[in-house]
Amino acid sequence: MADRDDDIEDTKPAKRTGISTWTMVLAVLNILAAAGFGYVALLDYQKRQDWSHAVFLYDLAMLGLPSEKDATTLTAYEETRNRHNLTSAQIKEAFQKRGGSGSGEFMEVAEMFNSRIRPQDLSEETLKTLFGSTGPGVKTIEEEVKRLESQVNTDIGVAFEETQKSATSDDDKRTKIRDLLFPLTFTIQQVDAIDAATKGAKDKATLDSLLEEAVWRNMMMQVLTPMEVYRPGDVKNWSSRRRRI
């Protein structure tokens, strides 16, 4: 019985005390392969992000800045925008310009592109790309209107101060007022009214007020006249809408 126990103990395999060289090589190769796959995946992700950003900038240039309502709800503009009609020849030409090859006809496209841009989609990097050095970036049309409104009032104030400094006497101020307002007149009665107002202003405060009025009206006419060509308005009581500097 004792001899059998000794035979059993002698046949037990010896315990391994380390890792073989081949196992180490395979482990290292697996680690390197995983790192390589991760690097390729990162490159693919970055490239997809670049392409998505380029498409987003194209949509932004086509659709323009969003409004504040676009942040929370669909607007009537999005629901009623025009369809894009692309003929087979146009699609084929674009396909070939991008290096595509093949023959046959392309199907015509007549659909509404469902691209939607919200204010929260415009990051600081996108605003820098969009506006560049033209000025501070804004995310909505309302912000741009407020910025321009403030900028126009500031520019008018600066122009008034420069005009006031260049007019050293009361006669110079009367001449400046006429030069600014006469080009805006349409009838002889308006010319007579301006002439009478400048001659009737005897004190410095009245002349400064008329000069400020003239500068404001002249600059606003320069700003609004081009807009009237593309989008004419029907403004009533124009004098009551005057905004003081």
pLDDT digits (tens, 9 = 90+) for 100-132: 777 778 888 877 776 778 888 888 888 888 888
What 3-state class would DSSP assign to 63?
A: helix
Q: How far is CA 201 from CA 175, 194, 195, 211, 213, in A?
A: 13, 11, 10, 11, 13
Quote the strand ranges of the chain, DSSP E: 84-86, 109-111
What is the per-residue DSSP string for 117-162?
Answer: --GGG--HHHHHHHHTTSS---SSHHHHHHHHHHHHHHHHHHHHHH
- For residue 241, what pLDDT is reported? 45
- For residue 232, what pLDDT is reported? 65
Domain ranges of the chain: 24-64, 67-126, 140-241
Place of tokens 């380029």: 54
- For residue 6, what pLDDT is reported? 53
**Highest-confidence segment of 17-26, 73-82, 83-92:** 83-92
Mean pLDDT on 233-243: 52
With vertex at residue 88, the alpha carbon angle to CA 87 and CA 90, rounded to the nearest 5 degrees, is 65
Q: Is the pLDDT of residue 200 over 80?
A: yes
With vertex at residue 29, the alpha carbon angle to CA 26 and CA 33, rounded to the nearest 5 degrees, is 140
243: confidence class by pLDDT, cuts 50, 70, 90: very low
242: confidence class by pLDDT, cuts 50, 70, 90: very low
Lowest model confidence (mean pLDDT) among 50-59, 155-164, 235-244:
235-244
Decide which of 14 and 155 is more confident. 155
Phi, psi of 85, rounded to the nearest 5 degrees: -105, 110
Buried b (16+ CB within 10 A) or exposed e, 206-232: ebeebbbbbbbbbbbeeeeeeeeeeee
- Its pTM stands at 0.53
156: confidence class by pLDDT, cuts 50, 70, 90: confident
> Residue 197 and residue 239: Cα distance in Å, rounded?
16
Closest CA to 81 of 114, 57, 121, 108: 114
- For residue 236, what pLDDT is reported? 59
Lowest model confidence (mean pLDDT) among 13-17, 45-49, 151-155, 169-173:
13-17
Q: Is the pLDDT of residue 244 over 50?
A: no
Q: Is the pLDDT of residue 3 over 70?
A: no
**Do 119 and 71 meet the contact criterion of CB atoms below 8 Å apart?**
yes
Give first-to-last CA distance, the chain, whole Å: 117
Q: Is the pLDDT of residue 69 over 50?
A: yes
- Reported as a single tens digit per residue, the pLDDT across 164-196 is 888 888 888 888 889 989 988 889 998 999 889
